[in-house]
């Protein structure tokens, strides 16, 4: 993508362009054992009814269908990249890391100004002047960070309720551990493009809950008139 930017083709950049670059890098590393839009091994089997099955953006399988690496990608500035969608991607990756022992990576790219706007947003970082607020991901250093999908932060409950509204019976981890790797490029002007990535892992002594069992997330049945 840096090469494409140098060729004055940054106006074409979007989620599809990012996926193409990620797919090429993974294929160059792992060959034809890389698959895109791979059915999520935990979520796809429990999905009931019609519709598209939950899928992972990229996986490396060895041997097939054993997942060794899973990658989810997001493009900052896209209407699809919201705090809720980031939380759900992290949970999806944690499920694969825990149940399959895979190396899981969440990748976020875009124009630096769009990334900065996302990182400063109330949904991502928490409302201003809120004691103890924490961002969804550590964007400032490579230290480990922990995301809690539990209703233990009052300001995040409405956001998590949105994430879990249609996923009432899905097993959700109590926490998701992430560790940032060095962004590329490290120093980036606002009008340039930058890539962030985090390793996603399970926590020690992992526990799960289902949103239907948590009063803050439980979807109430409609009242008949």
Taking only the tens place, the pLDDT of each residue in 49-87 is: 677 889 999 999 999 999 999 999 999 988 899 999 999
Contacts of 70 (CB under 8 A, 6+ apart): 56, 58, 59, 60, 93, 96, 97, 102, 103, 104, 105
Q: Which one is predicted more confidently, 12 or 171?
A: 171
- pLDDT for 222 beyond 60: no
For position 12, what pLDDT does the model report? 63
For position 15, what pLDDT does the model report? 75
Mean pLDDT for 40-47 is 92
Kindly indicate the confidence band of residue 16, based on its pLDDT and cuts at 50, 70 and 90.
Answer: confident
For position 49, what pLDDT does the model report? 66
Mean pLDDT for 28-38 is 94
Q: Tens digit of pLDDT for each residue in 121-148?
A: 999 999 988 888 899 999 999 999 999 9
What per-residue string of b and e applies to 56-65 under the rule 16 or more CB within 10 Å gives b?
bbbbbbeeee
- pLDDT for 164 beyond 80: yes
Contacts of 140 (CB under 8 A, 6+ apart): none
- pLDDT for 198 beyond 60: yes
* pTM higher than 0.85: yes
Share of the chain above pLDDT 90, in %: 75
Mean pLDDT for 95-101 is 97
For position 56, what pLDDT does the model report? 97
- pLDDT for 225 beyond 60: no
* Residue-range domain boundaries for the chain: 2-213
């Amino acid at each position: 993508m840096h090469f494409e930017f140098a060729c004055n083709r940054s106006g074409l950049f979007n989620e599809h362009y990012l996926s193409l670059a990620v797919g090429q890098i993974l294929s160059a590393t792992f060959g034809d054992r890389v698959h895109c839009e791979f059915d999520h091994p935990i979520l796809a089997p429990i999905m009931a009814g019609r519709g598209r099955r939950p899928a992972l953006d990229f996986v490396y399988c060895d041997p097939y269908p054993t997942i060794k690496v899973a990658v989810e990608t997001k493009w900052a500035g896209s209407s699809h990249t919201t705090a809720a969608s980031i939380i759900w991607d992290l949970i999806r990756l944690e499920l694969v890391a825990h149940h399959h022992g895979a190396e899981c990576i969440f990748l976020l790219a875009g124009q630096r100004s769009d990334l900065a706007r996302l990182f400063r947003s109330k949904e991502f970082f928490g409302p201003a002047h809120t004691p103890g607020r924490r961002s969804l991901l550590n964007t400032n250093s490579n230290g480990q960070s922990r995301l809690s999908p539990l209703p233990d932060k009052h300001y995040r409950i409405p956001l998590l309720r949105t994430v879990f509204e249609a996923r009432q019976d899905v097993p959700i981890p109590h926490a998701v551990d992430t560790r940032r790797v060095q962004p590329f490029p490290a120093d980036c002007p606002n009008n340039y493009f930058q890539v962030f990535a985090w390793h996603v892992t399970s926590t020690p002594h992992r526990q799960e809950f289902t949103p239907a069992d948590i009063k803050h997330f439980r979807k109430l049945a409609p009242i008949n008139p």
